[in-house]
């Protein structure tokens, strides 16, 4: 289980605005996660329960509350395909004039299907759900 390097950062700009430091709504980073694995019912694989952790800085055009979507994908590393995926949203709330905050998302469960031994060999990736433009910006900027 790991954070997907290209998708741990999310800089969101005001809708319709040219991406610029003055149009930033929020600059967020996935800083970690907590995870637990359990056997799925009826030998259906493994159930991974996780909670993501996000830190963010409020931009000049931000509202007090921001919802950031993220994805958890179970992949077959050998074949490079997604076997199962789930999406959720983490809500950031900035109090008063607070510029920075850190939160934990709600608990989420993703099933790794198949035989338990084979399920344990799968890779679980976590990252923000990015637009093509956000992903391209992350790749240009590189890991922070």
* Sequence spans of domains, the chain: 2-141
Nearest to 52 by CA among 122, 102, 98, 100: 102
For the chain, state the CA radius of gyration: 17
Topology (CATH) of 2-141: Immunoglobulin-like (2.60.40)
Nearest to 102 by CA among 40, 56, 143: 56
Question: Whole-prediction pTM value?
Answer: 0.86
Give the torsion through C-alpha atoms of 20, 126, 73, 25, to 10 deg.
-30
Phi-psi region of 116 (alpha: psi -120 to 50; beta: other; left: phi over 0): alpha
Q: What is the DSSP string of 108-121?
A: EEEEEES-HHHHTT
The pLDDT-based confidence of 120 (bands split at 50, 70, 90) is confident
The β-bridge partners of 65 are 93
Chain segment 62-96, per-residue pLDDT in tens: 888 999 999 998 888 766 788 788 899 999 999 88
The pLDDT-based confidence of 10 (bands split at 50, 70, 90) is very high
DSSP structure class, residue 21: G
């Amino acid at each position: 289980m790991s954070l997907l390097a290209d998708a741990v950062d999310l800089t969101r700009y005001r809708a319709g605005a040219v991406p610029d430091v003055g149009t930033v709504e929020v600059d967020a980073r996935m800083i970690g996660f907590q995870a637990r694995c359990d056997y799925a019912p009826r030998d259906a694989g493994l159930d991974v329960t996780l909670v993501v952790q996000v830190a963010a800085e409020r931009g000049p055009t931000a509202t007090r509350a921001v919802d950031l979507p993220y994805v958890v994908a179970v992949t077959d590393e050998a074949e490079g395909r997604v076997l199962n995926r789930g999406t959720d949203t983490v809500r950031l709330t900035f109090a008063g004039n607070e510029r920075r905050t850190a939160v934990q998302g709600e608990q989420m469960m993703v099933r790794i299907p198949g035989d338990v031994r084979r399920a344990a060999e799968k890779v679980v990736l976590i990252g923000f759900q990015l637009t093509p433009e956000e992903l391209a910006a992350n790749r240009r900027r590189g890991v922070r």
